[in-house]
């Protein structure tokens, strides 16, 4: 029988980083998300994973930029309120290292992506809940998902870089 592990949103974070003007990096986060892992007990090799992000919860610590990211220039949040990751499968590479491959859908475009996963282990919290921790990292090209808005500086440089680095710190609780 499969064991379901649900994301604990109070002990998890979903962040992204993208170059601005090629000289600095802007960090953003999604504040509302959910997801789960379906595993064989506490064995995560071959486990199935899925998650969903609420696009409207994007936060780059700058309200005007957040509004622009929600607009049709980028995520088109009104038409595409969620970013989803489905059909994910964890594949063990070493004792604390996995690869997670699945279907990422952004703005209605679905592509297969693979994220590097560092497994932090399993622990029982003071209230008796069994939890597991993972750090996921990867990189996608925003243009692959239809996020093609661009502007050039006077020198001909890009305002927004194409590569988006993803970093998720996830704590899941055994249900």
- What domains are defined for the chain? 3-174 (2.40.128.110)
The pTM (predicted TM-score) of the whole model is 0.90
**Average per-residue pLDDT for the chain:** 90
Burial 79-91 (b: 16+ CB within 10 A, else e): ebebbbbeebebe
- At 101-151, the pLDDT tens digits run 999 999 999 999 999 999 999 999 999 999 999 999 999 988 888 777 564
CA distance linking residue 41 with residue 89, whole number of Å: 15
Determine the Cα angle at 54 with ends 35 and 137, to 5°. 60
| Structure-block tokens of residue 84 | 């989803």
β partners of residue 58: 30
- At 59-91, the pLDDT tens digits run 999 898 899 889 988 889 999 999 999 999 999
Determine the Cα angle at 107 with ends 102 and 108, to 5°. 65
Confidence of residue 157 (pLDDT cuts 50, 70, 90): very low
Identify the pLDDT of residue 161: 65
The answer to whether 69 and 60 are in contact (CB under 8 A) is yes
CA distance linking residue 64 with residue 69, whole number of Å: 9
Mean pLDDT throughout 18-42?
A: 87
At 44, is the secondary structure helix, strand, or coil? strand
Task: Please name the helix (run of DSSP H) or strand (run of DSSP E) that holds residue 72, with its range, or none.
Answer: none
Identify the pLDDT of residue 63: 93
């Amino acid at each position: 029988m499969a064991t379901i592990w649900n994301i604990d949103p109070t002990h998890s974070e979903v962040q992204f980083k993208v170059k601005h003007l090629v000289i600095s990096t802007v960090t953003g986060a999604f504040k509302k998300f959910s997801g789960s892992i379906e595993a064989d007990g506490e064995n995560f090799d071959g486990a199935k994973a899925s998650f969903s992000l609420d696009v409207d919860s994007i936060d780059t610590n700058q309200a005007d930029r957040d509004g622009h990211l929600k607009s049709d220039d980028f995520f088109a949040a009104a038409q595409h309120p969620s970013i989803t990751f489905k059909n994910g499968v964890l594949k063990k590479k070493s004792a604390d290292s996995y690869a997670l491959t699945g279907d990422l859908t952004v703005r209605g475009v679905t592509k297969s992506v693979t994220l590097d996963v560092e497994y932090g282990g399993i622990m029982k919290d003071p209230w008796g809940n069994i939890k597991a921790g993972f750090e996921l990292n990867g990189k996608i090209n925003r243009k692959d998902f239809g996020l093609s808005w661009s502007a050039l500086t006077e020198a001909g440089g890009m305002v927004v870089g194409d590569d988006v680095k993803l970093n998720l710190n996830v704590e899941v609780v055994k249900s």
